[in-house]
Amino acid sequence: MSHAQGTLGPADHTLVIERVSKRFEGVAALADVSLQVGAGQIVGLIGPNGAGKTTLINLITGIHTVTSGRIRFNGRDVTHAPAHEVARAGLARTFQNIRLLAEATVIENIMIGFYRLETTPSLSSLLGLPAAHRETQRIRQRAMALLERFEMAHLAQAEAGSLAYGHQRRVEMMRAMASDPALVLFDEPVAGMNDVEAAAMGRIFDGLRREGRAVLLVEHNIRFVTQLCDQVYVLDSGRLIAAGSPREVVAHPDVITAYLGRPRAHKER
Ligand SMILES: Nc1ncnc2c1ncn2[C@@H]1O[C@H](COP(=O)(O)OP(=O)(O)OP(=O)(O)O)[C@@H](O)[C@H]1O
Ligand SMILES: [Mg+2]
């Protein structure tokens, strides 16, 4: 794959977050957060509600701007790059709340992902010129190839809003993958899924890793994260409280406290 970055040394990462802070009207949503994601790595980002996980994704994607710190992507400083520029540089995301055109078909929803990359204004498509028609056919074929890979080709013509929740999530993923991104950010991709659906999702993530993509995975499902991720970072109230292998992180006392609350003074045995 073109994004494999075979010439980079082991110290180089696709995504490098350096001491990033973000304040919203005086409230510190993130404080001094550093994190790296390498090509062919799935990095988990966990933490209780309001910890700052989605805020970090919004900063990386250029939806919000940092208060301080630096963000580098594929060796480029994108700290102040607008969202469309970061997307063009090879970054894609999904959202915490599903965002599909419910009344459009599955394949149309995925085709949108390809159209987003178009550089020329679509005057020719407005005028119905043959070149635009050929382009649409080409995009339809590529969307179909993605559907086959995600084992959803049989649902290509289904109305997106009529699909089961797990399938809607997959459509979102395919739309994100349309741009052939080097880095993908997923915000709670298996929330609300049963174990079977989550396992299917896990295999898809594993495939992305094998293709050499860098994946940042925000998830509340700890079991899913620890089974899948190479590295895990833990945020609590905007601060990183732990980072390391899944095994190290789940055994960390601060992580246990963040998830279970402070241990009671008088504990029953
Ligand atoms: N646009 C915004 N304006 C003001 N405050 C915000 C904004 N976005 C997030 N915040 C605040 O920043 C903090 C972190 O929120 P964030 O959504 O990043 O948490 P999260 O870790 O994604 O939580 P959850 O697990 O519930 O999705 C919260 O206190 C939130 O209220
Ligand atoms: Mg969130």
Give the number of other Cβ atoms within 10 Å of residue 123's Cβ. Answer: 9
User: Whole-angstrom Cα distance, residue 52 to residue 117?
Assistant: 29
Does residue 29 have its Cβ closer than 6 Å to ligand 1?
yes
| Ordered structural domains, the chain, with CATH | 1-90+180-260 (3.40.50.300), 101-178 (no CATH)
Q: Residue of the nearest CA to atom 9 in ligand 1?
A: 55
| Model confidence pLDDT, tens digit, residues 108-137 | 999 988 876 655 555 556 666 677 778 888
For 62, 195, 254, 257, the CA distances from 189, given in Å and listed in that order, are: 20, 13, 25, 25
Q: Nearest ligand to the C-alpha of residue 235? A: 1
Q: Residue of the nearest CA to atom 6 in ligand 1?
A: 24
Q: What percent of the chain has pLDDT over 70?
A: 87
Model's pTM, two decimal places?
0.87
Substitution site in 55, 225, 235, 240 for ligand 1 pocket (most atoms within 8 Å of beta carbon): 55
Q: Nearest ligand to the C-alpha of residue 237? A: 1
Among 121, 133, 110, CA closest to 179: 110
How far does residue 238's CA lie from ligand 1's centre (Å)? 9
DSSP-derived secondary structure for 189-241: TTTT--HHHHHHHHHHHHHHHHTT-EEEEE-S-HHHHHHH-SEEEEEETTEEE
Does residue 51 have its Cβ closer than 6 Å to ligand 1?
yes
Pair 226, 255: CB distance under 8 Å: no
Q: Residue of the nearest CA to atom 31 in ligand 1?
A: 50
| Model confidence pLDDT, tens digit, residues 238-250 | 999 999 999 999 9
pLDDT of residue 266 exceeding 60: no
Give the number of other Cβ atoms within 10 Å of residue 9's Cβ. Answer: 6
